[in-house]
């Protein structure tokens, strides 16, 4: 994995810590890591798998709020 990835913290992350992720998109993959453990392991998803996950998560959030 490239060390030149531009990591972005989740917009749903607060300033009080807790369970937060960061993502770093690249042309062929989406990289995900724990924002509290920047040198720890990362997960890598294909762009289509990441899109499916985000769509499912958004759908679950809408269902939860109803």
Give how many domains the chain has, as a whole number: 1
**pLDDT at residue 1 is higher than 60:** no
32 lies in some domain: yes
1 lies in some domain: no
Average per-residue pLDDT in the chain?
A: 86
| Dihedrals phi, psi of 3, to nearest 5 degrees | -85, 0
50 lies in some domain: yes
- How would residue 11 be classed by pLDDT, with cut points 50, 70 and 90? confident
3 lies in some domain: no
Q: Which domain holds residue 15?
A: 8-65
Q: What percent of the chain has pLDDT over 70?
A: 85
Tens digits of per-residue pLDDT, 29-54? Answer: 999 999 889 899 999 999 999 999 99
21 lies in some domain: yes
Residue 15 confidence (pLDDT): 67
Q: Distance between CA 32 and CA 50 in Å, rounded?
A: 10
46 lies in some domain: yes
3-state secondary structure of 63: helix
């Amino acid at each position: 994995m490239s060390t030149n990835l531009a990591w972005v913290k989740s917009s749903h992350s607060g300033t009080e810590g807790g369970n937060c992720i960061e993502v770093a998109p690249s042309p062929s993959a989406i990289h995900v890591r724990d924002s509290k453990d920047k040198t720890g392991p990362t997960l890598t998803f294909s762009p289509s798998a990441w899109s499916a996950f985000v769509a499912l998560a958004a759908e679950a959030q809408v269902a939860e709020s109803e």
